[in-house]
């Protein structure tokens, strides 16, 4: 097949890992006889530096005409003045809203060889295979903001339709997996959470009665994620809770550098990004872990291009590299040797078969 992929490397280690993802996609194209065209555009801090805008019009145009969008990372100390009116993260949030990718899928899978990299005990990690479905275009991230001399406010709003579409997507996913959905809210305090819970209960009763529904308050969920992570199948939650819980969940795998994400909407066009940030402290050193980015490329192949066989080949190649002992700095254990971003990428490409 032929596809156009928008590449938005962004800041920090974003360009390093985007380059790895692109090399893997190129290798997939060669091996499976596809033609992938890449169009590289600016986003984030580098876009502010070059154009004054964290999401320039040229980037939006490119993403609109592409079949899928791949993003590295945005942000860094250079642009992190809290009083700045233009910030790199605005580019990412606007892109998510523009593409209307309301569902952010963050799968958490344990690589058995890496259990030692997690701060949790191995017996707690056995059998962990969960996916967080984070609502991505609503809630407190997108509500009206205001600030005056001695107060500030961020409005959190959810509509019934926004809750229905994300819970529906999560419930469908649960139906394709182990049939269990956990909805996370803060219904003992927040009105938006009470609406979330009402809508979820109704929808699950009316449309997904075969799916087992569990409801947790977010503080308890944060604890259960560490005490009994293997009990979870699909977790669905609002934007900010999902942001926080997925950073926490990444510690099950031992490193943020292993976790991919796919942001999807109603069409096949998706936005794919590793869940890690721009890691400015290691930017340009060539030591970033490209696995999260490469696994995100696998999700791109699956969800936007419909290339399941190719997606599985990439995922298997990552597993193979890990099994063979390939370790970047973030997952290396004492006594193991450490490899670079490009060596890890080559190892994964070699394992594509």
- Identify which of residues 36 and 241 has a Cβ nearer to Mg ion in the complex: 241
Which residue(s) pair with 10 in the sheet?
73
Report the site for ligand IPM in 42-101 (rule: CB under 6 A).
75, 89, 92
Report the site for Mg ion in 131-170 (rule: CB under 5 A).
none
Q: Is 33 a catalytic residue?
A: no
- Identify which of residues 137 and 341 has a Cβ nearer to ligand IPM in the complex: 137
Q: Which of 11, 53, 243, 330 is catalytic?
A: 243
Distance CA 229, CA 254 (A): 14
- Could you tell me which residues come within 8 angstroms of residue 234 by beta carbon, excluding any fewer than 6 positions away? 130, 131, 132, 133, 170, 171, 173, 174, 177, 180, 181, 182
For 222-231, give one letter per residue: b (16+ CB within 10 A) or e: bebbeeebee
Q: Is 49 a catalytic residue?
A: no
Distance CA 326, CA 343 (A): 9
Q: Which of 16, 53, 141, 185 is catalytic?
A: 141
- Is there binding between residue 11 and ligand IPM (CB under 6 A)? no
- Could you tell me which residues come within 8 angstroms of residue 125 by beta carbon, excluding any fewer than 6 positions away? 110, 115, 118, 229, 230, 252
Q: Is 67 a catalytic residue?
A: no
| Residues binding Mg ion: number (CB under 5 A) | 1
- Is there binding between residue 238 and ligand IPM (CB under 6 A)? no
Distance CA 353, CA 30 (A): 12
Draw the binding track, 263-302, toward ligand IPM (x: CB under 6 A; -: no contact).
------------x---------------------------
- Could you tell me which residues come within 8 angstroms of residue 92 by beta carbon, excluding any fewer than 6 positions away? 43, 44, 54, 55, 71, 74
Say which residue the tokens 């009116």 belong to: 85
CB of 74 to ligand IPM, least distance (A): 6
Q: Is 78 a catalytic residue?
A: no
- Identify which of residues 243 and 315 has a Cβ nearer to Mg ion in the complex: 243
- Is there binding between residue 330 and Mg ion (CB under 5 A)? no
| Residues binding ligand IPM: number (CB under 6 A) | 5
Distance CA 94, CA 137 (A): 9
Which DSSP symbol is given to 251?
H
Q: Which of 16, 158, 186, 233 is catalytic?
A: 186
- Is there binding between residue 243 and ligand IPM (CB under 6 A)? yes
Residue 92 interface partner, choices ligand IPM, Mg ion, none, CB cut-off 5-8 Å depending on type:
ligand IPM
- Identify which of residues 75 and 351 has a Cβ nearer to ligand IPM in the complex: 75
- Identify which of residues 199 and 275 has a Cβ nearer to ligand IPM in the complex: 275
> φ and ψ at 244, to 5 degrees?
-70, -45
- Distance from first CA to last CA of the chain, Å, rounded? 20
CB of 281 to Mg ion, least distance (A): 17
Q: How many residues does the chain have?
A: 353
CB 348 within 8 A of CB 308: no
Q: Which residue is nearest to Mg ion, using beta carbons?
A: 243
- Is there binding between residue 313 and ligand IPM (CB under 6 A)? no
- Is there binding between residue 243 and Mg ion (CB under 5 A)? yes
- Identify which of residues 243 and 347 has a Cβ nearer to Mg ion in the complex: 243
CB of 141 to ligand IPM, least distance (A): 7
Please give the sequence-ordered ranges of beta strands (E in DSSP) within 13-144, or none if there are none: 35-40, 68-73, 103-109, 129-135
Residue 89 interface partner, choices Mg ion, ligand IPM, none, CB cut-off 5-8 Å depending on type:
ligand IPM
Distance CA 72, CA 55 (A): 14
CB 25 within 8 A of CB 5: yes
DSSP annotation string for 16-58: HHHHHHHHHHHHHHHHHT-EEEEEE---THHHHHHHS-SS-HH
CB of 58 to ligand IPM, least distance (A): 21
Residue 319 interface partner, choices ligand IPM, Mg ion, none, CB cut-off 5-8 Å depending on type:
none
Q: Is 266 a catalytic residue?
A: no
| Active site amino acids | 141, 186, 219, 243, 247
Summarize as ranges the residues that interact with ligand IPM (CB under 6 A): 75, 89, 92, 243, 275
Summarize as ranges the residues that interact with Mg ion (CB under 5 A): 243
């Amino acid at each position: 097949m032929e596809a156009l992929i928008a590449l938005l490397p962004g800041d920090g280690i974003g360009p390093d890992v985007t380059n790895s993802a692109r090399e893997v996609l190129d290798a997939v194209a060669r091996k499976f006889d596809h033609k992938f065209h890449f169009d590289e555009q600016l986003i984030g801090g580098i876009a502010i530096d070059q154009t004054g805008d964290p999401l320039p019009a040229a980037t939006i145009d490119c993403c609109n005409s592409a079949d899928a969008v791949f993003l590295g990372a945005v942000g860094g100390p250079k642009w992190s003045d809290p009083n700045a009116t233009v910030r790199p993260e605005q580019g990412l949030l606007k892109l998510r809203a523009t593409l209307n990718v309301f569902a952010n899928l963050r799968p958490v899978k344990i690589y058995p060889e890496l259990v030692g990299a997690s701060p949790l005990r191995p017996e707690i990690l056995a059998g962990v295979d969960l996916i967080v479905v984070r609502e991505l275009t609503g809630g407190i991230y997108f509500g009206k903001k205001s600030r005056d001399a001695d107060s500030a406010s961020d409005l959190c709003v959810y509509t019934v339709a926004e809750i229905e579409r994300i819970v529906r997507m999560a419930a469908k996913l649960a139906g394709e997996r182990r049939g269990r959905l956990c909805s996370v809210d803060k219904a003992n305090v927040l009105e938006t959470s009470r609406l979330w819970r009402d809508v979820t209960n109704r929808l699950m009763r009316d449309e997904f009665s075969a799916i087992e529904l569990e409801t947790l308050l977010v503080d308890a969920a944060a604890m259960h994620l560490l005490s009994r992570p293997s009990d979870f199948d699909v977790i669905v939650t609002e934007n900010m809770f999902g942001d926080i819980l997925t950073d926490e969940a990444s510690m099950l795998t031992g490193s943020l550098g292993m976790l991919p994400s796919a942001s999807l909407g109603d069409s096949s066009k998706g936005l794919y990004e590793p869940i890690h940030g721009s890691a400015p402290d290691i930017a340009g050193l060539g030591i970033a872990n490209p696995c999260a980015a490469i696994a995100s490329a696998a999700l791109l192949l699956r969800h936007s291009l419909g290339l399941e066989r190719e997606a599985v080949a990439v995922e298997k190649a990552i597993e193979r590299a890990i099994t063979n002992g390939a370790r970047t700095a973030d997952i290396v254990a004492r006594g193991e040797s450490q490899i670079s971003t490009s060596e890890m990428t080559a190892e994964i490409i070699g394992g594509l078969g």
